Amino acid sequence: MPISAEEAQNVASVLTEALPYIQRFHGATLVVKYGGNAMVEEHLKNSFARDIVLMKLVGLNPVVVHGGGPQIGDLLDRLNIPTRFVGGMRVTDAQTMDVVEMVLGGLVNQEIVSLINKNGGRAAGITGKDGDLIRARKLELANPDAEATEIIDIGHVGEVDEVNATVLHALVAQNFIPVIAPIGVGRDGESFNINADLVAGRLAAELKAEKLVLVTNTPGILDADSKTIASLACSELDELIANNTIEGGMLPKAQCAQSAVRGGVQSAQIIDGTVPHALLLEIFTDAGVGTQITDG
């Protein structure tokens, strides 16, 4: 059945609104950190995959970095391996690291690759260990309860030391969509679990990406009245962090976005992944669905 004239007009309006953004971002690199409910709920997973494929088809070069904390926790529970957190970080001994690599580098990574390929894309799954992409160092976590500086050993939890993006450039040149698990390799070949937001931010800066997009479970950065802030300069973000308007789980995401922008990324977006096709709405419409962070 043909659609009504009003529906046709709405579709045409959306398509024409997207045109200048498609022209502007053609050939540009976009790093997407994929996490939250968008990785769990089936309709959101398919929505995300279709968004990534469409962006590639209209000329963007998306690079996906994914998390997987809940999936790691589920498998640890099934294996009766106890989990302990310190300062929000999972204590990761050798046994837990084996599970992390199995889940992030195997189950989660390959599911995302399969979804993108199923929807017509060409995805290639890798970890930060492949091609020496992410050199990592052990994360030193200070004990906040100690009077003097005391470092807590939380095992195989790392931070990015160096990035060698050769493998990513090769994949993009061959028209693949890289899907990256945030596992790095140490100087002695040991594996490290790294926060996916931090990995995405460093990769975006290294790749001179046009945009970094963090897909979350929230509508963006909220002001003191719990309303979404559409756009922020880095200097304004500093003020919101200083007065504790931004705190809790949003704080590391905001700092990651800010660091990427100050590292040369043109802009960073924190968007609500619970909205179907949130990526397309953020990239290709005037209003967007989250908070944009720019330099200044």
Q: What's 79's domain CATH number?
A: 3.40.1160.10
Instruction: List pLDDT tens digits, range 148-180.
Output: 456 778 889 999 999 999 999 999 999 999 999
Q: Is 31 exposed, middle or buried (0-12, 13-18, 19+ CB in 10 A)?
A: buried
pLDDT given for residue 285 in this prediction: 85
Please state the rounded mean pLDDT for residues 97-116: 96
pLDDT given for residue 145 in this prediction: 56
Query: Which of the pair, 37 or 155, is modelled with greater confidence?
Result: 155
Structural domain that includes position 28 = 24-294
Note whether residue 184 is domain-resident. Answer: yes
Asked whether the beta carbons of 103 and 179 are under 8 A apart, the reply is: no
Structure tokens given for 171: 């994949």
Instruction: List pLDDT tens digits, range 208-231.
Output: 999 999 998 888 898 888 889 989
Instruction: Please give the Cα distance from 84 to 89 (Å, whole number).
Output: 8
Three-class DSSP category at 255: helix
Average pLDDT, the chain: 89
Angle at 89 between CA 258 and CA 136, to 5 degrees: 65
Instruction: List pLDDT tens digits, range 52-77.
Output: 999 999 999 999 999 998 899 999 99
Note whether residue 16 is domain-resident. Answer: no
Note whether residue 9 is domain-resident. Answer: no
Sequence-distant (6+) residues with CB within 8 A of 111 are 45
Note whether residue 4 is domain-resident. Answer: no
Note whether residue 206 is domain-resident. Answer: yes
The yes-or-no verdict on residue 41 having pLDDT over 60 is yes
pLDDT given for residue 144 in this prediction: 58
Note whether residue 2 is domain-resident. Answer: no
Note whether residue 11 is domain-resident. Answer: no
Instruction: List pLDDT tens digits, range 132-148.
Output: 999 999 988 766 555 54
Q: How are the residues of the chain apportioned to helix, strand and coil, as percentages rounded to the nearest 5?
A: 45, 25, 30
Of the pLDDT bands very low, low, confident and very high (cuts 50, 70, 90), residue 86 is: confident
Question: How many separate domains does the chain show?
Answer: 1
The yes-or-no verdict on residue 260 having pLDDT over 80 is yes
Query: Which of the pair, 14 or 179, is modelled with greater confidence?
Result: 179
Give me Rg for the CA atoms of the chain.
19
